[in-house]
Amino acid sequence: MKVIKKIDELRRELKQYRNDKTIGFVPTMGYFHEGHLSLMDRAKAETDIVVVSLYVNPTQFGPNEDLAVYPRDFECDEQLAKEHGVDIIFYPDNDEMYPDGYKTYVYTEELSKKLCGKSRENHFKGVTTIISKLFNIVQPDVAVFGQKDHQQAIILERMVEDLNIPIKMIIAPIIREKDGLAMSSRNKYLSHEERKQSVILSLSLKAAKESVKKGETSAEIIKQQITSQINTSSLAKIDYIEIVNSKDLIDVKIIEKGTFAAVAVYYGKTRLIDNVVLG
Amino acid sequence: MKVIKKIDELRRELKQYRNDKTIGFVPTMGYFHEGHLSLMDRAKAETDIVVVSLYVNPTQFGPNEDLAVYPRDFECDEQLAKEHGVDIIFYPDNDEMYPDGYKTYVYTEELSKKLCGKSRENHFKGVTTIISKLFNIVQPDVAVFGQKDHQQAIILERMVEDLNIPIKMIIAPIIREKDGLAMSSRNKYLSHEERKQSVILSLSLKAAKESVKKGETSAEIIKQQITSQINTSSLAKIDYIEIVNSKDLIDVKIIEKGTFAAVAVYYGKTRLIDNVVLG
């Protein structure tokens, strides 16, 4: 496995494969957990050469967010990637990605203002911009993202379609801890008690899915059910609970195909997200 | 020469060339004049296969601009392109480029608000968006643009660098009528008298360049010189006259390397632009 920090070097390295191998790509911010590793495994299963980018992208963090303290452990990440058959880690620094005079942004309007976009104003603009850049640098055949960031996945699929980017997108399932908590690099911020209570996110979504299976079709009732369940967790502060469609993230009244429930909940300063497809 | 209207068909057609031929690309809005044809010739000189897109892009026109009446003559364009050795004309319709639910825009901030961006608010956002799309569709090795749209060229070069788009950009010189008027599809809107007077744009810029050659370094004096010369044309209504640097389009006081003068002038409803590198 190679670790490459420069764009030009990565391009040279990948050039040799372009004629007869397929390239898979997993963009990450590092601090790998089973969720990331499942994306690498998926890329490995789909393509010949797997590139993982490891870059904590500053433009997707707001001024009061956790950029400075975002967890990092490159040596551990390197080891894990190697064990999962990754061929290249692209590990650029900020000067390489946003040199002086940088001015261009990619923006998927409307979709970026909803759900997480309400409390994280420029977050998705940062995401679509960095992913556009990485796609142009790596030029993969296939890119793999996680379903945990469902809104991100929907926005990136929209961007790929809108901008005619010739890359196949794969959205892989959420990987969970044994008790159901969706894996996230931010889980490490949780105190022991917060960690214990945070299981309520996945439990409430699982219960919501059960209710829908049993015949409930009212989004309002499902939303109330999730809300009251999360509110049993004394340390939880709800950012949002939304029942929306996958196409344009608009609130629905009746749960149907493509409807999903998404939640964002603060435990202290730690913001956790989770989601489930209901319909 | 092939005329292709569908993205998928263009991709299939170009696939056969990717391994052993270079692809040149000239994006246009059609109604070809010598300026466009010089770009095709340049692409032909630089690459094996030349693709010209012909698409009047609605997102770069403002609500009160000339989208509906923008001049079109596909049959004549087709003939001219053939004579200039173009291999493929990509000629999509609006449903192909902006299908229902379209939401993604590429935006080069700051640069897009200056000069023409002041009176044409979302113009450059439309330009960077459509060019991003066309670049992803054609995936050329080389793209050729005209110096007449100097701000556009600067913005697109910035976009290509910022988004790490792997395409070599060529900016080819302005082609002028015999009397000096920069060629433009919009020149056909001019009445006989407007056409006669419009020569003042290029004359004033030529005179400005002469003054700088003779030692004038004050942007203010050059700007006054251009202004008073254009004002001798009774039908001219100045939109802007600016002396700026090429890097970030910021007003300069002292003319130096990279400084250029750009003008936009209305004759009736017709807006003409021209520019010259001074330093």
Locate the domains of chain A by residue range: 2-172, 185-277
Which tokens sit at B119?
């009176």
Which of B15, B104, B168 is the mutation pick for testing A, counting most A CBs within 10 A?
B104
Q: Length of chain B, please? A: 279
- b or e along B219-249 (b: 16 or more beta carbons within 10 Å of the residue's beta carbon)? beebbebbeebbeebebbeebebbbbbbeeb
Strands A142-146 and A49-54: unpaired
Task: Compute the distance between CA of residue B39 and CA of residue B52 in angstroms, rounded to an integer.
Answer: 10
**pLDDT-derived band of residue A241, with 50, 70 and 90 as boundaries?**
very high
Residues of A within 8 A of B110 (CB-CB) are 103
Helix B34-46 and helix B74-83: axis angle, to 10°?
40
Tell me: pLDDT of B101 over 90.
yes
**CB–CB of B133/A163 below 8 Å?**
yes
Residues of B with CB under 8 A from a CB of A: 7, 11, 19, 101-111, 128-129, 132-133, 136-137, 139, 158-159, 162-166, 247-248
DSSP B24: E
Residue of B107, B163, B247 lying closest to A107 (CB–CB): B107
Residue A105 DSSP SS3: strand
End-to-end CA distance of chain B: 41
Judged by CB atoms closer than 8 Å, whether chains meet at A133 and B104 is answered as no
Average pLDDT for chain A: 97
- Note the pLDDT tens digit of each residue in A17-54: 998 999 999 999 999 999 999 999 999 999 999 999 99
Give the one of A19, A109, A163 whose C-beta lies nearest to B136's C-beta: A163
Q: How many CB pairs under 8 A join A and B?
A: 79
Q: Are B263 and B223 in contact (CB under 8 A)?
A: no
Q: Tell me whether residues A164 and B109 touch, CB distance under 8 A.
A: no
pLDDT score recorded for residue A247? 87
Which superfamily does CATH assign the domain made up of B2-172 to? HUPs (3.40.50.620)
pLDDT digits (tens, 9 = 90+) for B39-76: 999 999 999 999 999 999 999 999 999 999 999 999 99
Dist. CA A14–CA B11, nearest whole Å: 22
- A129: which chain B residues are within 8 Å (Cβ-Cβ)? 163
B192 catalytically annotated: no
Residues B78 and B3 sit within 8 Å (Cβ to Cβ): yes
Distance CA B133, CA A210 (A): 42
Cα(A82)–Cα(B79) distance, integer angstroms:
57
A133 and B163 within 8 Å at the Cβ level: the answer is yes
Q: Is the dihedral of CA B191, B197, B201, B203 positive or negative?
A: positive
Average pLDDT, chain B: 97
Q: Which residues of A touch B (CB under 8 A)?
A: 7, 11, 19, 101-111, 128-129, 132-133, 136-137, 139, 158-159, 162-166, 247-248
Tokens of B121: 């608010």
Q: A249 to chain B: which residues are within 8 Å by CB? A: none
Report strand pairing: B236-245 vs A270-277: unpaired
Contact state of B104 with A107 under an 8 Å Cβ cutoff: yes
Which strands make up the sheet holding A236-245, listed edge to edge?
A236-245, A259-267, A270-277
When CB atoms are compared, the residue of B133, B139, B162 closest to A104 is B162
Rounded to a whole number of angstroms, the CA Rg of chain A reads 19
pLDDT in tens, A153-185: 999 999 999 999 999 999 999 999 999 999 999
d(CA B110, nearest CA chain A) in Å: 7
Contact B162 A102 (CB under 8 A): yes
Q: Give residue B143's identity as a one-letter amino acid code.
A: A
Closest CA of chain B from A60, distance in Å? 16
All residues at 6 or more sequence positions from A124 whose CB lies less than 8 Å from its CB, including other chains: A60, A107, A108, A111, A112, A116, A117, A151, A152, A155
Q: CA-CA distances (angstroms) from residue A112 to A109, A128, B130, B163, B187?
A: 6, 10, 20, 19, 41
- The percent of residues above 70 in pLDDT, for chain A, comes to 100
CB contact under 8 A, B103 and A108: yes
For residue B244, the Cα-to-chain-centroid distance in whole angstroms is: 18
Which residue out of A33, A36, A84, A123 is catalytically annotated?
A36
Could you read off the pLDDT of A75-125 as tens digits, one per residue? 999 999 999 999 999 999 999 999 999 999 999 989 999 999 999 999 999
Query: Chain B residues with CB inside 8 Å of A104's CB?
Result: 106-109, 128, 158-159, 162-163
| DSSP E strand boundaries for chain B | 2-4, 23-28, 49-54, 88-90, 104-108, 142-146, 168-172, 236-245, 259-267, 270-277
Q: Mark residue A101 as left, alpha or beta (left: phi above 0; alpha: psi -120 to 50; beta: remaining).
A: left
Report CB contact under 8 Å: B109, A103: yes
**Using a CB-CB distance cutoff of 8 angstroms, which residues of chain A are in contact with residue B95?**
none
Nearest to B104 by CA among A155, A18, A136, A144: A155
Which of B30, B58, B49, B246 shows the shortest CA–CA distance to B155?
B246
Q: Counting Cβ atoms within 10 Å, is residue A184 exposed (0-12), middle (13-18) or buried (19+)? A: buried
> Which one of A25, A96, A103 makes the best mutation probe of the B interface by having the most chain B beta carbons within 10 Å?
A103
Cβ <8 Å between B106 and A106: yes
pTM: 0.96
Phi-psi label, residue B215: left if phi above 0, alpha if psi -120 to 50, beta otherwise: left
Q: What CATH number matches the domain at A185-277, 3.40.190.10, 3.40.50.80, 1.20.120.50, 3.30.1300.10?
A: 3.30.1300.10
Pick A105's closest partner by Cβ from B11, B109, B165. Answer: B109
**Confidence band, pLDDT 50/70/90 cuts, at residue B218:** very high
Minimum Cα–Cα distance from A247: chain B residue = B101
pLDDT of residue B151: 97
Q: Taking CA atoms, what residue in A is nearest to B108?
A: A104
Angle, to 10 degrees, between the axis of helix B7-15 and the axis of helix B123-138? Answer: 40
Q: What is the ipTM of this complex?
A: 0.96
pLDDT in tens, B182-210: 999 999 999 999 999 999 999 999 999 99
Quickly state the pLDDT bin for A279 (edges 50, 70, 90).
Answer: confident
3-class DSSP state for residue A276? strand
Q: Work out the pLDDT band at B247, boundaries 50, 70, 90.
A: confident
Question: Residue for token digits 């149907």?
Answer: A256
Contact criterion met (CB below 8 Å) for A90 and A51: yes
CA distance A92 to chain B (A): 13
Q: Do A164 and B248 touch (CB under 8 A)?
A: no
**Residue A165 token pair:** 């980017």
Nearest to B163 by CA among A152, A160, A89, A97: A97
**From CA B224, how far away is CA B211, in angstroms rounded?**
12
**Residues written for chain A:** 279
- For B130-229, strand residue ranges (E) read 142-146, 168-172
- Asked whether residue B279 carries a pLDDT value surpassing 90, the answer given is no
The whole-angstrom separation of Cα B202 and Cα B187 is 14
* Spatial distance between the Cα atoms of A19 and A179, rounded to a whole number of angstroms: 45
